[in-house]
Amino acid sequence: MLTVKDLHVYYGAIHALKGISLEVRQGEIVTLIGANGAGKTTTLHTLSGLIKPKSGVIRFQDQDIAGMAAQKIVAMGMSQVPEGRRIFANMSVLENLELGAFLRKDKDGIKEDMEKVFTRFPRLKERTSQLAGTLSGGEQQMLAMGRALMSRPKLMLLDEPSMGLAPLLVQEIFAIIKEINEAGTTILLVEQNAHMALSIAHKAYVLETGKIVLSGPAKELAESEEVKKAYLGG
């Protein structure tokens, strides 16, 4: 579904991504783990069209999307749940969800997807008219995920979904990510909580200072001494 080859990204003189290559197949959860500043968020921003790469190939469903406008990429079926949620705080829960579908014209489909979001996140249904900024951190994460689902993505990019959440909520959010994947959405997950990410992913890549240093089946990486030492506190 997604192929990235030899991707180079610069912030001014800083070489942020140094030739990374990765693959996401349909139906998978693929995770990108690494320390703060390794280039994980930069990778997602480049894939979703928020940053233009200096060079390299990004193919999504057999189309070259490197440097394409972000809204076109969303229309093709890739949506991002940004780091820190980025919900619209002064708008209601319902308005936030409706914004997720702003590129769509199929009213019946939108209504159907809204019901699906409320079935998956019952807490959002109870709070439809509440201002999004007054939700708890976990509820805001659910809203950000629900908003992304409203664009009916084929591929969902998730950036640090566990950030700032209590351990019990982290478990809940990861269970929901797994459900979303099982219902047919392919997922590329960026996460500092390597233990949780590896527990639900099919495949994993380890990013260090803009380079992929390890990759393989998530189960294997979770058992790797190198990964245990660096990311799993073992």
Q: What is the pLDDT of residues 122-146, one digit of tens each?
A: 999 999 999 999 999 889 999 999 9
Give the amino acid at 4: V
Q: Indicate if the pLDDT at residue 120 is higher than 80.
A: yes
Residue 127 has a pLDDT of 93
d(CA 97, CA 101): 7
Tell whether domain 2-231 is in CATH 2.60.40.10: no
**Structure tokens, 93:** 């829960």
Looking at residue 231, what is its pLDDT?
A: 82
Nearest residue to 217 (alpha-carbon basis) of 209, 225, 234, 205: 205
pLDDT for residue 234 is more than 70: no
pLDDT at 164 over 90: no
Q: What is the mean pLDDT of residues 180-189?
A: 96
> pLDDT confidence of 150, banded at 50, 70, 90?
very high
